[in-house]
């Protein structure tokens, strides 16, 4: 039976996954089998494109010179934005960009970042290394940049150290079509038309760097700000994002929802993947199979954490009006020792690709609640899409996963049941194979598969005729990464397979991510 017929019959597509040996893996452990079934009868809620969003903070080299080099820089740029970075971001269609923090957001006065750049005040970035912040990249630079790359703007407003009036005036400055003094000031600073502000965050990590508030104080502060901050109707609906919990702090979400659910459209969740806790994060490179597996295990916890917060939210919001925005997530390793303290620069390896794909698969499964994600962070910071060094730029394995997963933006997911063999490394045992499936906006059925086993290949047998084509991301070493000298060590390669007499079999290399379109 072809996949096309399966679609027509809206039947379940059953896939069998069997492990096999490849030439290179001949001496490796014996094959086992598993099965995956895709339930085409029960499409889920759309995977919001915003789930593929990104986060960029005034931290380390994220903004300067990751995005902004200034119009006079010898680095090729357009109006101060690096051309290489703009082209790379346009290619992956970044749906939404969150700025200016992070912790930086709650120390940021928007007035510092408007007007002639030469006259802007220089501040100390107290959140990140006490470096001088020139404010060269401010509201105009950010909003224009978001427009340039085609992303919706997500402003993270200061609720920790400023009053609601400041936030209200910032929103008016950006969005008002009127002739108010603030709108005229925006015009005088070079922008006639109001920008579109799609998302506004009220504070960041209010339980910590955003003001050390209890959940009760955070909820009531959020409510207070709602009284004073709004966008004009011409802006269209502005999604109000409450600052939410970290990790598995379900009590925080409970209190926020109980006291303020009616005053928010979404609540945030931050979850960073740390191999051994904050004091023993481990390195971005040089880990063994046990470290590899532990990192993936921690990334897989995202599923349990989202389920926990979603369950709490259901108590107050059973119709799921309020979205859960995972607006900071990713691997946090020990900083590269060559870098100064506070810049949070880390390399990005095949392990980051596998955890990114695993996390995106989890978001697909929670499309009923998770309507925005923002990986931390876009350039040169933590689990970055892009690394730069002077005029050089390199795309990371994480970037390639976001590129490969583009068909899932706006797609309709199907439930997938996976029965997979496990692998063990150190004290960690995990399933080898993870998979999600969705019908893209292009009408095609797409599969995303991860083989997390660092040693063994997997043969995935689809119980269907036809063929698949797409791409595979893998490398020889578990910590393979792209450097400025070797930028394509980890890069997608074409992947195509056609049904034989045993049906359609996908050969997944060890430690790989595969995204394919099923051709019917
Ligand atoms: O992404 C780095 C920091 O992590 C952010 O500033 C903060 O929100 C979080 O703790």
What separation in angstroms does the CA of 106 have from each of 152, 167, 296, 318?
Answer: 21, 11, 32, 32
Q: Is the pLDDT of residue 19 over 50?
A: no
3-class SS of residue 472? strand
Instruction: Place 25 in a pLDDT band, splitting at 50, 70 and 90.
Output: very low
Do 119 and 14 have their domain in common?
no
On average, the pLDDT of the chain sits at 92
- Check pocket membership of 204 for ligand 1, CB cut-off 6 A: yes
* 328 has catalytic annotation: yes
The answer to whether 454 and 509 are in contact (CB under 8 A) is no
Atom 7, ligand 1: residue with shortest CA distance = 102
Do 418 and 269 have their domain in common?
no
The answer to whether 264 and 322 are in contact (CB under 8 A) is yes
Number of domains in the chain: 2
Report the length, in residues, of the chain. Answer: 520
3-class SS of residue 86? helix
**Short-list 450, 331, 320, CA closest to 382:** 331
pLDDT at 336: 73
Atom 3, ligand 1: residue with shortest CA distance = 102
Do 290 and 385 have their domain in common?
yes
What is the torsional sign of CA 30, 39, 365, 303? negative
Q: Tokens representing 31?
A: 């094959």
**Short-list 255, 354, 350, 370, CA closest to 303:** 370
Point out the ligand 1 atom lying closest to the alpha carbon of residue 208: 10
The answer to whether 338 and 387 are in contact (CB under 8 A) is no
* pLDDT tens digit sequence for 464-515: 678 899 999 999 999 999 999 999 999 999 999 887 777 778 889 999 999 9
- CA 357 to ligand 1 centroid distance, Å: 21
Do 113 and 216 have their domain in common?
yes
Do 117 and 75 have their domain in common?
yes
Do 384 and 235 have their domain in common?
yes
pLDDT at 264: 98
- CA 48 to ligand 1 centroid distance, Å: 24
Do 367 and 465 have their domain in common?
no
Paired sense of beta strands 77-78 and 123-125, if any: unpaired
* pLDDT tens digit sequence for 96-154: 999 999 999 999 999 999 999 999 999 999 999 899 999 999 999 999 999 999 999 99
Do 420 and 403 have their domain in common?
no
Q: Is the pLDDT of residue 32 over 80?
A: no
- CA 193 to ligand 1 centroid distance, Å: 32
**To 10 degrees, what angle do helices 164-175 and 139-149 make?**
50
Ligand 1 pocket: which of 56, 58, 103 to mutate (most atoms within 8 A of CB): 103
- Check pocket membership of 453 for ligand 1, CB cut-off 6 A: no
- Rounded average pLDDT over 434-445: 95
Which of 410, 425, 449 finishes a domain?
410
- CA 172 to ligand 1 centroid distance, Å: 27
- Check pocket membership of 101 for ligand 1, CB cut-off 6 A: yes
Q: How many CB atoms lie within 10 A of CB 295?
A: 26
- Check pocket membership of 106 for ligand 1, CB cut-off 6 A: no
The answer to whether 385 and 378 are in contact (CB under 8 A) is yes
> Which residue out of 48, 141, 205, 297 is catalytically annotated?
205
pLDDT at 419: 80
Atom 5, ligand 1: residue with shortest CA distance = 102
The answer to whether 421 and 289 are in contact (CB under 8 A) is no
Do 203 and 247 have their domain in common?
yes
Distance from C-alpha of 10 to C-alpha of 216, rounded to nearest angstrom: 48
Do 369 and 422 have their domain in common?
no
Which domain, by its residues, includes 94? 49-410
CATH number of the domain where residue 482 is located: 2.60.40.1180
Instruction: Place 395 in a pLDDT band, splitting at 50, 70 and 90.
Output: very high
Distance from C-alpha of 320 to C-alpha of 323, rounded to nearest angstrom: 7
Q: Tokens representing 272?
A: 């960073």
The residue written with tokens 């593929």 in the block is 52
Which of 342, 377, 410 finishes a domain?
410
Terminus-to-terminus CA distance in the chain, angstroms? 10
Please report, rounded to a whole number, the percentage of residues in the chain having pLDDT higher than 90: 83
Point out the ligand 1 atom lying closest to the alpha carbon of residue 57: 6
- Check pocket membership of 379 for ligand 1, CB cut-off 6 A: no
Do 332 and 245 have their domain in common?
yes
Distance from C-alpha of 112 to C-alpha of 143, rounded to nearest angstrom: 15
Q: How many CB atoms lie within 10 A of CB 255?
A: 19
pLDDT at 23: 37
Q: How many CB atoms lie within 10 A of CB 29?
A: 13
| Predicted TM-score (pTM) of this structure | 0.94
Distance from C-alpha of 468 to C-alpha of 490, rounded to nearest angstrom: 22
Distance from C-alpha of 36 to C-alpha of 463, rounded to nearest angstrom: 10
> Which residue out of 57, 328, 339, 517 is catalytically annotated?
328
- Check pocket membership of 331 for ligand 1, CB cut-off 6 A: no
- CA 81 to ligand 1 centroid distance, Å: 24
pLDDT at 248: 98
Do 92 and 211 have their domain in common?
yes
Point out the ligand 1 atom lying closest to the alpha carbon of residue 382: 1
CATH number of the domain where residue 227 is located: 3.20.20.80
Which of 395, 410, 425 finishes a domain?
410
What separation in angstroms does the CA of 181 have from each of 41, 92, 119, 144, 176?
Answer: 56, 38, 20, 21, 10
């Amino acid at each position: 039976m072809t996949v096309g017929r399966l679609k027509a019959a809206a039947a379940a597509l059953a896939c069998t996954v069997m492990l096999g040996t490849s030439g290179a893996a001949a001496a490796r452990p014996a094959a086992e089998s598993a099965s995956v079934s895709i339930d085409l009868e029960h499409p889920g809620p759309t995977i919001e494109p915003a789930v593929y969003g990104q986060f960029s903070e005034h931290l380390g080299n994220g903004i300067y010179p990751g995005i902004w080099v200034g119009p006079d820089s010898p680095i090729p740029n357009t109006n101060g934005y690096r051309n290489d970075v703009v082209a790379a971001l346009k290619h992956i269609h970044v749906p939404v960009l969150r700025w200016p923090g992070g912790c930086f957001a709650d120390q940021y006065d928007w007035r510092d970042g408007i007007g002639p750049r030469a006259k802007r005040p220089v501040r100390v970035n107290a959140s990140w290394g006490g470096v001088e912040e020139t404010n060269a990249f401010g509201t105009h630079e950010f909003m224009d940049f978001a427009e340039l790359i085609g992303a919706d703007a997500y402003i993270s407003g200061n609720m920790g150290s400023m009053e609601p009036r400041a936030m209200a005036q910032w929103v008016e400055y950006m969005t008002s079509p009127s002739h108010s003094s603030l709108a005229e000031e925006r015009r005088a600073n070079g922008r006639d038309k109001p920008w579109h502000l799609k998302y506004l965050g009220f504070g960041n990590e209010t339980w910590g760097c955003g003001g050390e508030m209890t959940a009760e104080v955070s909820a009531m502060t959020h409510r207070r700000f709602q009284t004073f901050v709004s966008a004009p109707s011409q802006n269209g609906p502005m999604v109000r994002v409450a600052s939410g919990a970290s990790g598995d702090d379900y009590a925080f979400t409970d209190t926020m929802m109980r006291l303020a659910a009616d005053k928010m459209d979404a609540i945030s969740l931050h979850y960073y993947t740390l191999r051994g806790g904050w004091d023993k994060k481990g390195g971005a490179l040089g880990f063994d199979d046990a470290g590899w597996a532990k990192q993936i295990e921690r990334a897989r916890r995202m599923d349990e954490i989202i389920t926990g917060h979603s369950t709490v939210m259901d108590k107050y919001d059973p119709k799921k009006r309020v979205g859960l925005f995972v607006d900071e997530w990713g691997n946090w390793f020990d900083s590269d020792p060559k870098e100064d303290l506070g810049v949070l620069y880390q390399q990005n390896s095949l392990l980051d690709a596998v955890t990114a794909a695993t996390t995106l698969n989890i978001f697909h499964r929670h499309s009923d609640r998770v309507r925005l994600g923002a990986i931390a962070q876009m350039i040169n910071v933590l689990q970055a899409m892009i690394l730069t060094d002077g005029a050089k730029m390199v795309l990371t394995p994480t970037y390639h996963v976001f590129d490969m997963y583009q068909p899932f933006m706006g797609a309709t997911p199907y439930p997938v049941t996976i029965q997979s063999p496990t692998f063990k490394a150190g004290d960690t045992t995990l399933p080898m194979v993870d998979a999600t499936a969705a019908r893209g906006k292009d009408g095609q059925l797409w599969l995303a598969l991860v083989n997390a086993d660092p040693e063994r290949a997997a043969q995935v047998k689809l119980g269907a005729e036809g063929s698949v084509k797409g791409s595979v991301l893998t490398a020889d070493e578990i910590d393979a990464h792209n450097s400025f000298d070797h930028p394509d060590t980890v890069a997608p390669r074409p992947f195509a397979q056609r049904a034989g007499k045993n049906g359609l079999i996908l050969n997944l290399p060890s430690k790989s991510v595969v995204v394919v379109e099923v051709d019917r």
